[in-house]
Amino acid sequence: MTAAPRAGKAVAPCRPDWRLAAQLLANGEPLATVAKTLGCSRSQLSRKRNHDPLFQDLIEEFRQMGPEERLARLRHAVHRAIDLAVANQNVRVVLWLAERLKLLTPADERTPADELREMLSGLSPEELCEFESLGASD
């Protein structure tokens, strides 16, 4: 027997992402897996699937969608999520994005410009003239 919730502590209602549920169901995921992913009961998801015509239409729409359109929608959703995270000043997302765009160089890594400067500083004056003449011959 489960304990009754304490007075004053309301349990947050389950608010599943029905769009995600429709996508997963359209891709052939089992009902139980989709329910677990959404954090809702199988019966709640089953009722939605069997009795909600809009949800049924959404599932069918995702079934009819081609891979290019799915990728375009996914790309758009990712852009929206990143924009929202950056707008909310989510530091982890901003740093991840900067790293992926190669905007940051870790302290223990040298940039190509640093390596070139070091290489050029080790050349003799004659070697440096020869190196500079290679660029002038183009």
Same-domain status, 34 and 57: yes
Among 24-33, 37-46, 63-72, the minimum mean pLDDT is found in: 63-72
Asked if the structure places residue 3 within a domain, the reply is no
Domain extent at residue 124: 110-138
Going by pLDDT thresholds of 50, 70 and 90, the confidence category of residue 101 is confident
Asked if the structure places residue 5 within a domain, the reply is no
103 touches 94 (CB < 8 A): no
Asked if the structure places residue 97 within a domain, the reply is yes
pLDDT at 115: 77
Asked if the structure places residue 1 within a domain, the reply is no
Provide the domain count of the chain.
3
Same-domain status, 60 and 71: no
Same-domain status, 100 and 121: no
Asked if the structure places residue 83 within a domain, the reply is yes
Same-domain status, 61 and 71: no
Give this prediction's pTM: 0.48
* pLDDT of 135 above 80: no
The residue-averaged pLDDT of 87-104 equals: 81
pLDDT at 123: 83
The Cα–Cα gap between 45 and 32 comes to 9
- Residue showing tokens 């790309």: 75
